[in-house]
Amino acid sequence: MNGRLTRIKALGLPIHTRFTKPFGDCTMGVVEPCQARQIEIVEVGPRDGLQNESVILSTGQKIDFITRAIDAGIKRLEVASFVNPKLVPQMADAEAVIAALPQHKDVHYIGLVLNKRGALRALETAVHELGIVCTASDGFGQRNQGQNAGELLTMATDVMHLCQQEGRVAQVTIATAFGCPFDGEVDPDSVVAMACTLAEHQPKEIALADTIGCAAPGQVAALVSRVAQAIAPIPVRVHFHNTRNTGLANVWAAIQSGAVSIDASFGGLGGCPFAPRATGNVPTEDVVYMLERSGYSTGLDLDRIITAVNWLGDVMGRGLPGMVSKVGAFPCNNAEQSS
Active site residues: 272
**Residue 33 binds a copy of itself, judged by CB under 8 A:** no
* Nearer of residues 58 and 334 to a copy of itself, judged by Cβ: 334
**Residue 165 binds a copy of itself, judged by CB under 8 A:** no
* Nearer of residues 100 and 329 to a copy of itself, judged by Cβ: 329
**Residue 284 binds a copy of itself, judged by CB under 8 A:** no
Nearest CA-CA partner of 94 in 56, 125, 134: 125
**Cβ neighbours around 106 below 10 Å, total:** 7
**Residue 144 binds a copy of itself, judged by CB under 8 A:** no
**Least Cβ distance, residue 107 to a copy of itself (angstroms):** 26
Amino acid at 156: A
Q: Among 66, 156, 296, 308, which residue sits at the site for a copy of itself (rule: CB under 8 A)?
A: 296
* Nearer of residues 69 and 290 to a copy of itself, judged by Cβ: 290
d(CA 214, CA 155): 26
Cβ neighbors of 12 (< 8 A, separation 6 or more) are none
Residues 250-279 that bind a copy of itself (CB under 8 A): 251-253, 256-257, 275-277, 279
Cβ neighbors of 235 (< 8 A, separation 6 or more) are 205, 206, 260, 261
The counts of H helices and E strands in the chain are 14, 8
Residues 180-219 that bind a copy of itself (CB under 8 A): 181-185, 187-189, 212-219
* Nearer of residues 18 and 68 to a copy of itself, judged by Cβ: 18
CA distances in angstroms from 145 to 111, 115, 191, 201, listed in the order given: 16, 8, 18, 21
**Least Cβ distance, residue 232 to a copy of itself (angstroms):** 13
d(CA 175, CA 264): 15
Q: Which of the ranges 22-30, 52-60, 89-97, 104-112 carries the binding residues for a copy of itself, by CB under 8 A?
A: 22-30
**Residue 19 binds a copy of itself, judged by CB under 8 A:** no
**Residue 286 binds a copy of itself, judged by CB under 8 A:** yes
Q: Phi and psi at residue 237, in whole multiples of 5°?
A: -105, 155
Q: Among 208, 283, 302, 312, which residue sits at the site for a copy of itself (rule: CB under 8 A)?
A: 283
Task: Write the binding mask 218 to 237 for a copy of itself: x where contact by CB under 8 A, - elsewhere.
Answer: xx-xxx-xx-----------
CA distances in angstroms from 292 to 7, 40, 146, 332, listed in the order given: 11, 12, 41, 13
**Residue 295 binds a copy of itself, judged by CB under 8 A:** yes
* Nearer of residues 41 and 91 to a copy of itself, judged by Cβ: 41
Q: Are 230 and 201 within 8 A, CB to CB?
A: no
